[in-house]
Amino acid sequence: MQTKIVALRHPQRPPPPVSDFWFAHVDQRLGRIEGIIARLAWQIWIVVCGCAGLLVFEIVKALSGGTP
């Protein structure tokens, strides 16, 4: 019995037809929104990791008997 391996690609919208100006405009707007969401996700991860780091420092300070 042979197993078939199929390469999966990320789903992408097909390019808009050249003659359809409205669809091209909407596609451009959606591309901008996707970029903004991607940047926002990175910023959220940076804030979460920074808060986790500060929490670890506070736990280590509390367990080592440091002054408040």
Each residue's pLDDT tens digit, 18-60: 667 777 788 889 999 999 999 999 999 999 999 999 999 999 9
Dihedral pair phi/psi, residue 30, rounded to 5°:
-65, -35
pLDDT of residue 19: 64
pLDDT of residue 3: 73
With a CB cutoff of 8 Å and minimum separation 6, the contacts of 8 are none
Is pTM beyond 0.75? Reply is: no
Please give the full DSSP string across the chain, using - where no structure is assigned.
-PPP--------PPPPPTT-HHHHHHHHHHHHHHHHHHHHHHHHHHHHHHHHHHHHHHHHHHHTT---
